[in-house]
A and B are shown apart, each in its own frame.
Chain A
């Protein structure tokens, strides 16, 4: 029985799909072999020596494979042998349990400016060894009407959080689907993605600067619709969220302000175009509307006002965004295992009438990131990311430039090691301080280890 999984439970590095190779066409050049001739020659010598030693007590070479002479993975060494209906039925009974999996992300490294750097909730939170995130996923079909996905997470060993817990309908008519619970809004591309789908150790600061440390993630309801009878894939969605007020002393949060009935409303359109068998384009347009939220822990600091709320709190605002994902990957990869993916997102926040210094003015602020990830070998991925914040800049989002690089070594489908480095040029983030600060250069570097256990997840596109 197949299990559905809307959100993914596994490391996003994989050996993968293919391009047509005519039967037996020899690889001219081709990709590097997993092992070198020298290594084999050396190992062969050892093997011959071992065989000789084994043959000493008067035994001749075995005529048939047996466990004593076969290496692991030889026919007799396989942990498999049963067959037939009985064995096949077993899997059907056991599959009534939800699919359970866990993902751990450990990181070790350093922020040059620990306190002045804006971080996402699942970034390494400071210099040192970090349990960046421990995630537990439970996923199952509920009944013929719903499936359920529950993701519990412990970020930075700071208590257990419900990262997501939602139901998805499976039988609505007219290509409609409803998602209800607490979940990451499909606003742009990376907002909806968990940490283990990121190609870099930490997220770009775009969503943390605009939407809060965890991006737009809140209890809510989404209705989405796969538009029928189009020659391409187009999904429209509308959702409403009860976003909680911002934590104290973090950047102005686009949503979460006002009263309890001031929802954040999100509308998105996502389209997919297979430009060719190897090249695909996935693009989204995003819009959200709600009320700003910002709090500070000390009332006397500027620009805070009474009750820990700031000048910018509780204004209607709009968020406009666009995201683009372009991927090239040969359908039959065996010669090179190469792929290239380019991803970029832009958000613009419009607060139409902020009152600053007694007069109304409109505040437009935005930022973007753009990243390229190249798979250069079956197990090696290289990523480059640029961030440009403050286009346009304003009281809350300052002009900032950042560049990051990552090298990912995927040991298997289920574990990977990643080296990450970044350089950031812009003012320090100091929420309680209204005086302008000069731009400074700040570096950060991390070594990350990620592993997934349990149910086999699926990769989303």
Chain B
């Protein structure tokens, strides 16, 4: 017992030696944005990887260690991580990142949210996102909102770095503005193209690039689509001439391939986050890859 007390005192007594701001993010895209804004002043770690389904990350206790050290947690919000993140935040024993603290950044706060239910919802509609669509981080205007929010929080947490964060944010804004024009030029050909998506996770990209979503393979999140839905979807795709099905790599492929085959459409396995494939290393790479997928014939 005495040894334990001594160990406790020793460990508690040791201060935080390194001066970097520890940023933890729920998804890899946010980690890249935080690195861009934070530069050398931050040390960034994502809790999940781009090839994982962000709705269902395994809440491993090892993630508690990352959260325990965090000065800033950046998460998607809108209940995307509701199934795994809240218990980890509590278990982190880290006051800085508890809800309501400056170190807890819900990145959706200033995003113009799409697909907010306007009628009463219940779970006969499946495991729906009742607070609105949380899959918002790909379009440049939203990435900019997120980067600005991260910069604001970093300045609040680490005032000494204010100028650095402002400069880094400016650099990101400039590069983003430049790339945005390029992306929109490249994607001009997909404007008005009718698509079907697996999960309702492409609303923001569709809105940005002008894709027309005519249906969903998974009409009720988390509920297997009945054959009648699949059949009417196929029939509808045929009548509408929809030739593309968008899905993430972490969703089951079989039903999608069946629909694609019957409807004469092509399945595009889309990256939805940095790290979705090993060659997508940052946010720009992610958007490049999304547009490349959509525009490759």
Query: Using a CB–CB distance below 8 Å, which chain A residues touch chain B?
Result: 1-6, 8, 10, 14-27, 30-37, 39-40, 42-44, 46-48, 51, 61-62, 65, 69-75, 77-85, 87-88, 90-91, 141, 144, 147, 168, 170-177, 225-229, 232-233, 236, 270, 272, 274, 280, 282, 329, 331-335, 337, 378-379, 411-414, 453, 456-461
Closest to B200 in A: A78
Q: Which residues of B are at the interface with A, using a C-beta cutoff of 8 A?
A: 4, 8, 11-12, 14, 49, 51-53, 56-62, 64-65, 68, 75, 77, 79, 81-87, 89-93, 95, 98-100, 106, 108-109, 111-119, 121, 123, 125-127, 130-133, 200, 213-216, 218-220, 222-236, 239-240, 249-255, 257-258, 262, 267-271, 276-278, 289, 293
Please give, as numbers and ranges, the residues of chain B lying within 8 Å of A23 by CB-CB distance.
Answer: 249, 269-271, 276-277, 289, 293
| Prevailing SS type, chain A contact patch | loop
CB–CB B277/A170 < 8 A: no
Q: Quick check: A175 and B116 within 8 Å, CB to CB?
A: no
**What residues on B are CB-neighbors of A270 within 8 Å?**
61
Q: How far is the CA of A80 from the CA of B213 in the complex (A)?
A: 14
B235 and A48 form a contact (CB under 8 A)? yes
The CA-CA distance from A378 to B225 in the complex, in Å, is 13
A residues near B111, Cβ cutoff 8 Å:
88
Contact B53 A70 (CB under 8 A): no
Say yes or no: A334-B82 contact (C-beta < 8 A), given A16-B56, A23-B277, A43-B231: no
User: Is the CB–CB distance between B90 and A334 below 8 Å?
Assistant: no
Q: A22-B277, A88-B108, A225-B8 are in contact. Are A31 and B254 (CB under 8 A)?
A: yes
Cβ–Cβ < 8 Å partners of B60 in chain A: 272, 274, 280, 461
Q: Which of B11, B113, B117 contacts A79 (CB 8 A)?
A: B117
11 contacts across the A-B interface (CB closer than 8 A):
A2-B75, A4-B90, A17-B250, A19-B51, A23-B249, A23-B277, A32-B254, A69-B236, A88-B108, A175-B68, A272-B60
CB-CB under 8 A from A8, the residues of chain B are 87
A295 to B140, CA, bound (A): 70
| Distance A453 CA – B239 CA, assembled complex (angstroms) | 39
Q: Are A75 and B224 touching (Cβ within 8 A)?
A: no
Flag if A34 contacts B224 (CB, 8 Å).
yes
Given the interface pairs A2-B99, A226-B64, the reply to whether A461 lies near B58 with Cβ below 8 Å is: yes
List of B residues within 8 angstroms of A414 by Cβ: 123, 127
Closest to A85 in B: B112
Complex contacts, A72 vs chain B, CB 8 Å: 219-220, 229
Closest to A80 in B: B115
B residues near A83, Cβ cutoff 8 Å:
112-116, 132
CA distance A280 to B226 in the complex (A): 35
Q: A17-B57, A47-B231, A461-B58 are in contact. List 8 more A-B contacts (CB 8 A).
A: A3-B86, A6-B91, A15-B222, A84-B113, A85-B112, A87-B118, A88-B113, A141-B98
